[in-house]
Amino acid sequence: MMESLQQVDHFLTTASYVLLVLMAVPLGMTLVRMLAGPSYADRFVALDMLTGVAVSIAALTAAATGRREYMDVGLGLALFGFLGTCALSAFLEREERRRP
């Protein structure tokens, strides 16, 4: 029974490391969209997506290393990302009102 649990733990750790490497693809694509734009709305959506990718990287790191502290980092990232998205969307809405 104990050997079976060790095999499952090894599999989950390996899968977490593989997924961490694969998360470089959406991270790179999101950074390109954030820099390329073309509008502020595209950049804000990319920032929100970047926050989601960062939270998933924190969760995968917690799963790979077995350290719970990374979940706290993910929670903090999610909170700041949500507040940032709300603030930036309010800014975007205010800019839309100013335009005739």
Q: Cα–Cα distance between 14 and 25 in angstroms, integer?
A: 18
Residue 74, Cβ neighbours under 10 Å: how many? 19
The domain made up of 2-98 has a fold known as Helix Hairpins (1.10.287)
Spatial distance between the Cα atoms of 8 and 60, rounded to a whole number of angstroms: 16
Q: Shortest CA distance to 66 belongs to which of 9, 7, 4, 3?
A: 9
pLDDT bucket at 100, cuts 50 / 70 / 90:
low
The pTM of this model reads 0.81
Above 80 in pLDDT, residue 23? yes
Q: Which two tokens stand for residue 74?
A: 């993910």
Q: How far is CA 79 from CA 48, 53, 58, 75, 92, in A?
A: 11, 14, 13, 6, 20
4 pLDDT exceeds 80?
A: yes
Mean pLDDT of 12-40: 90
Q: What mean pLDDT value characterizes the chain?
A: 88
Would you state the structure tokens that stand for residue 1, as one six-digit string? 């029974």
| Domain assignments of the chain as residue spans, ordered by start | 2-98
